[in-house]
A = this chain, B = another copy of it.
Amino acid sequence: MGRKRLQESADGRPTVHTVAARAGVSIASASRVLNGVGGSPETVRKVREAAAEVGYVPNAIARSLQSQRTELVALAVEDIGNPVYVEMMRAIESVVADSGRQLLVHATGGRIDNETALLRRLANRYVDGMIVSPIRVTADHLTALQDSPVPVVVVGQLAEDAPVDNVRTDSRRGIALAVDHLVATGRRRIGFVNGPLDTVPGAARDAGFRTALAAHGIVLDENLVEVGDFQYAAGRDATERLLARAEPDALVCANDLIAVGALHALLARGRQVPTDVALVGMDDTELARMMFPQLSSVSLGSAERGRRAAELLLQRIADPSLPPRRAQVAPSLAVRASSAPATHVPAPREEVTS
């Protein structure tokens, strides 16, 4: 038989053995007391005392190996810098922390291979579950989602029959809210600055825009539509291109970052907001409220979606046999200064150098 087990861990820190020896009890008793199950008053006292004396802290790894759970949950989003994900993350973190778990954040950069790789790595069990908000979804991706070795919840649109927990919103309807509002306040030449059409949200918002305009009997002038990334710079550049060839009296933007870019482009070109051009963003992030004028924005309930996703995930972790579930959060419109009704007195324009 090999040498007797030491009472200290490799790096000299106390283990259950240290505590047990010091308290004069078995490791089993020590462990029980430390976990608050069983133990005579006397044993409890001795073990607690010994633990405090040596500054015992349980090793999370060893505990995980035994319990098969890490108490860690991951979140994978495209762009950690986008305020919409910050809000979602905050909501998720709150729920996750309340359950005594910790949140691990991954930035995928929207690269899909990156994301499937992440999904596959889940197999090594370093987290108990994952929330992922993909902007592109391929068949490959979907497969990886379905037979993920650990619970996964998707925030975003997924095929109706996809057997994966998911939390969705209706961004088509969200765009319609924006268009309806603009039409109601007298705008007619409504432009649209969108993100990539090969993304799920990009495609949905494009469809939403076209449908909404048609519903009002407005014929879409393709010159009023531009596409870029879901980023500030792309939004600004796309708006510049649009303004170079068309004269919108309102602009709907596919997210707030784009809207801020659009605002920049409009102001740089000497357009007044909302007098000349009304502006509506999407996601209703704090960024929208930071602008001057404050930006109207369609809320897609990002915090709420985050919260729901976290709850779904925790439930599934608790009971993996649950059937796939689906939660839906309705969009709403926050009207602010950037889309106040146009005064019918066109203000004198003055070119401003950026």
Contact = CB atoms under 8 A, between A and B. Distances in A.
Contacts of A70: 61, 126
Contact of A86 (B60, B80, B123): B80
Contacts of A294: 354
A124 B63 CA distance: 10
A93 B65 contact: no
Nearest to A267: B292
A264 to B, nearest CB: 5
Contact of A337 (B105, B260, B354): B354
A52 interface: no
A322 interface: no
B286 A261 contact: no
A68 B125 contact: no
A87 B107 CA distance: 13
Contacts of A57: 120, 123-124, 149
B107 A286 contact: no
Nearest to A89: B80
A293 B337 CA distance: 18
Contacts of A65: 61-62, 65
A232 B291 CA distance: 11
A61 B64 CA distance: 7
A354 B57 CA distance: 55
A21 to B, nearest CB: 20
A126 B61 contact: yes
A232 B286 contact: yes
Counting contact residues on chain A (CB < 8 A from B), the size range is 35 or more
A105 B107 contact: no
Contact of A59 (B102, B107, B125, B354): B125
Contact of A13 (B107, B149, B260): B149
A90 to B, nearest CB: 7
A219 interface: no
Given A80-B89, A81-B86, A86-B81, A124 B60 contact: yes
Contacts of A80: 86, 89-90
Interface in A307-354: 337, 354
A207 interface: no
Contact of A264 (B260, B267, B292): B292
Interface in A41-61: 55, 57-61
Given A59-B125, A81-B83, A104-B105, 5 more contacts: A58-B124, A80-B86, A80-B90, A294-B354, A337-B354
27 contacts: A11-B68, A13-B149, A57-B124, A57-B149, A58-B124, A59-B125, A60-B124, A61-B64, A61-B65, A61-B126, A65-B65, A70-B126, A72-B104, A72-B126, A80-B86, A80-B89, A81-B83, A81-B87, A81-B90, A93-B107, A102-B104, A102-B126, A103-B104, A104-B105, A105-B105, A261-B290, A267-B292
